[in-house]
Amino acid sequence: MKFTGGEAIVEILKRFHVQYMFGLPGDQTHIHDAIYRNSDIRHILVRHEQAAAHMADAYARASGKVGVCDATVGPGATNLISGIAEAFTSSIPVLALASEIRSDWRGRGCLQEIQQLEVFKPITKFAFRVDATSRIPEIMKRAFQIATTGKPGPIFLSIPLDILKGEADFTEEDFRVHEKFGQFPAVRVLPPEEEIVEALDMFMNSRKPILMCGGGVISSGAWPQVQELAETLRVPVVTTFMGKGSVPENHPLCLGPFGLLGRPETNDRVQDSDFILAVGTRFTNIDTAGWNIPRPGVPIVQVDIDPEEIGKNYYVKRGLVGDARSVLSVMIGLLENKKDESKRKFYRESEIEEVRRKWLAEKGIESSLAKKNSSPVHPLQVIRGLRHYMGPDDIIICDSGFNQIWGGQYFEVNSPGRTYMGPRGFGVMGFSLPAAIGAKLACPDRKVVALCGDGGFAMTLQELETAKRIGTPIIACIMNNKNLEYVKANQRNLYGSRFISVDFTDINFAKVAQAFGCDGFRVEDGIHLDEAFKQAFQSALPFVVDIRTLESAEPDRISVQTLPKSDSGSQDRKED
């Protein structure tokens, strides 16, 4: 069989059942022509390559499959950088394909020539230049395998124009793939059972344990096991923002998110615990409020697929290198074989549930502030409205900024699994709108909401045209306070309100949406919020709800300066 390079790429994508590729054409159009002639793959034309990377990222998060994006040589490839960096730091498997100048022109200072392979190496699991058309199937298959095994992550393939255009002879064997590498995790790894037994013994010998869940729970599909373990032992569950959905957040054992941007009441419980089972969390500075939560010295068992994460930021009593779902399944099985121990209940459900109920009534969406119709609108009222109109399986995607804290801390995910997303690895603004398009393509029967600030939304609003053109009726909910409130709050709190470069003029984003052929509703006061959401959730078009919110309304967040000084830096970091 004789194939061009573009045809060989598409053939491998077909074998891995890739449905969508997100990108903007250029020299890589040989791939697009092969799609046109020989494939059911749908190429999604974007307005900017960064959006293509975010769409592929969110498609992967929502579907559990590898997301694929493409770009042309030079500026097209570099436009992918922020999106691929987000996928890398959030451990999302994305395959990025970019064309490159002809091999025989390399090093001559050609138009658009840079060392793009070197640019992507630090932000991918694997970056490779394809040096022969005949090697395309081999390298593509390797890319899918690397992306979906171990800690998931993005792959970058740089393909010179002559390799894309060139032809080679292939056999059926060249295109034979292991389909499992099209999804993640493709391989589930377990540590030795004796290590799990030892970790479980530590758990059972504690008095006030906490089950701490991060993005690894969502990535591995371990939410049923988290809920079963929590219910078996009646142990409270806390999460990072990426771990939202590890259990339903209206579950009586769920205390919600912890850390710098989490709930203070949840942090108090974490600080009071005497044992932590940490599953799929990296203990970042945000999640731990500068490595103060949990308190240094508390016994920790850490479960992570990446051995380099074990004990990196906190000393741990036992590190279990393995897939979260598999490790928790073994723990549950061990408990079933120890009927006397499995009957132990650490807490009364009512005791944990009361913490949540009190928080909801005093600070959350059941508080008087959330129910008040104000003008401009308070963000809590926005969150309350979204929770009312969104179904339990609908997806919310929070952009970077205060809107992400309002969504992460105050919006309760009431269905476990992949129902909450955000750029928590790299913190990219402009993520949520293109990400909503990718998630909607992965889950067409579910409503998908992008919760944005006006700053982040304006960075990628051109993708409204993409959403309209391809028929993805997403909902963009904009908290429009005409400023960069996260930065402005820091200037207020740390620099005596010396504000600089944080304020915008007002934009009516509802009218902008209508100019793109979408629909929109401008909300000036809380009285009209219900009608806006009603229209948005009934619309067959992409819909923008542009809400004028208070210029200053800070959610709860910890000031690290008020925390006791951590001595964790002096701890012995060696593993037991």
Which pLDDT band holds residue 340 (cuts at 50, 70, 90)?
A: low
Residues 35 and 148 in one domain: yes
What is the rounded CA–CA span in Å between residue 248 and residue 210?
A: 16
Residue 561 CB contacts under 8 Å (≥ 6 apart), including other chains: none
User: HSE on the CB side for 262, CA within 13 Å?
Assistant: 30
172 in the same domain as 36: yes
Strand partners of residue 545: 477, 521
Say whether both 315 and 442 belong to one domain. no
Domain end (from 332, 355, 378): 355
466 burial type by CB count under 10 A (0-12 exposed, 13-18 middle, 19+ buried): buried
On whether both 237 and 111 belong to a single domain, the answer is: no
Query: pLDDT tier at 341 (50, 70, 90 boundaries)?
Result: low
pLDDT > 80? residue 554: no
What's the domain range around 462? 363-548
Same domain, 178 and 223: no
> If we measure between CA atoms, which residue out of 418, 379, 546, 376 comes closest to residue 475?
546
Domain membership of residue 239 (yes or no) is: yes
Write the single-letter amino acid at 505: T
Looking at residue 103, what is its pLDDT?
81
List, in order, residues 6 or more apart from 21 with CB less than 8 Å away: 13, 31, 35, 41, 42, 43, 44, 68, 69, 70
Q: Specify whether the CB–CB gap between 457 and 518 falls below 8 A.
A: no
**CA–CA–CA angle 201, 203, 206 (5° rounding):** 110
Taking only the tens place, the pLDDT of each residue in 287-308 is 999 999 999 899 999 999 999 9
Q: At what angle do helices 49-63 and 432-442 cross, to 10 degrees?
A: 40
Task: Report the distance separating Cα 552 and Cα 489, nearest Å.
Answer: 8
| Domain edge (last residue) among 309, 328, 355 | 355
Q: What is the pLDDT of residue 104?
A: 80
Q: How far apart, in whole angstroms, are the C-alpha atoms of residue 493 and residue 472?
A: 41
Number of domains present in the structure of the chain: 3
**DSSP secondary structure code for residue 280 in this structure:** S
Same domain, 454 and 307: no
For residue 349, what is the domain's CATH number?
3.40.50.1220
Helix axes 264-272, 349-362, angle to 10 degrees: 150
109 confidence band (pLDDT: 50, 70, 90)? confident
C-beta of residue 155 within 8 angstroms of C-beta of residue 91: no
Structure tokens at 377: 């609108």
- Mean pLDDT for all residues in the chain: 93
On whether residue 351 sits in a domain, the answer given is: yes
- 39 and 105 housed in the same domain: yes
Mean pLDDT, residues 335-355 taken together: 81
pLDDT score recorded for residue 563? 53
Tokens of 95: 């395959």
pTM metric for this prediction: 0.94
Residue 5 has pLDDT above 70, yes or no: yes
- What percentage of the chain exceeds 70 in pLDDT? 96
Cis peptide before 185 (omega within 30 of 0): yes
Give me the pLDDT at residue 573, please: 37
20, 44 Cβ separation under 8 angstroms: yes
Q: Are residues 301 and 413 in the same domain?
A: no
Q: Phi, psi (5° rounding) for residue 319? A: -110, 125
* Position 295, amino acid: R
Residue 118 has pLDDT above 70, yes or no: yes
Q: What is the Rg, in whole angstroms, of the alpha carbon atoms belonging to the chain?
A: 24
In a domain, 53, yes or no: yes
Q: Give the model's confidence band at 576: pLDDT under 50 very low, under 70 low, under 90 confident, else very high.
A: very low
Which of 182, 216, 239 is a domain's end point? 182
What CATH number does residue 51 fall under?
3.40.50.970
If pLDDT is split at 50, 70 and 90, which confidence band does 275 have? very high
Q: What is the mean pLDDT of residues 438-457?
A: 97
Under 8 Å CB-to-CB from 496, ≥6 apart: which residues?
none
Domain-embedded: residue 574: no
Question: Residue 439: pLDDT band by 50, 70, 90 thresholds?
Answer: very high
Is residue 188 in a domain? no
pLDDT at 575: 35
- Domain shared by 314 and 407, yes or no: no
Contact 77, 71 (CB under 8 A): yes
Q: Is the pLDDT of residue 102 over 70?
A: yes
Per-residue pLDDT for 562 more than 50? no
* Model confidence pLDDT, tens digit, residues 224-274: 999 999 999 999 999 999 999 999 999 999 999 999 999 999 999 999 999
Query: What is the length of the chain?
Result: 576
At residue 107 the predicted structure's pLDDT band, cuts being 50, 70 and 90, is confident
Residue 235 lies in a domain: yes
Residue 229 gets the label, from left (phi > 0), alpha (psi -120 to 50) or beta, of alpha
pLDDT above 60: residue 462: yes
**Residue 123's pLDDT is what?**
97
CB within 8 A of 205, min separation 6: which ones? none
Can you give the pLDDT at residue 468? 98
Residues 394 and 280 reside in one and the same domain: no
Assess whether 165 and 234 both reside in one domain: no
Do 161 and 218 belong to one domain?
no
Indicate if the pLDDT at residue 41 is higher than 80: yes
pLDDT at res. 498: 95
Does 560 fall in a domain?
Answer: no
Q: What is the pLDDT of residue 555?
A: 79
What are 155-213's pLDDT values in tens digits?
Answer: 999 999 999 999 999 999 999 999 999 999 999 999 999 999 999 999 999 999 999 99
Is the residue at 403 inside a domain? yes
Distance (Å) of CA 15 to CA 176, 184, 189: 8, 16, 25
**The pLDDT of residue 344:** 75
The model's pLDDT over 369-424, given as tens digits with 9 standing for 90+, comes to: 999 898 999 999 999 999 999 999 999 999 998 899 999 999 999 999 999 999 98
Task: Identify the H or E element spanning 220.
Answer: helix 215-220
pLDDT at site 467: 98
Strand partners, 156: 96, 127
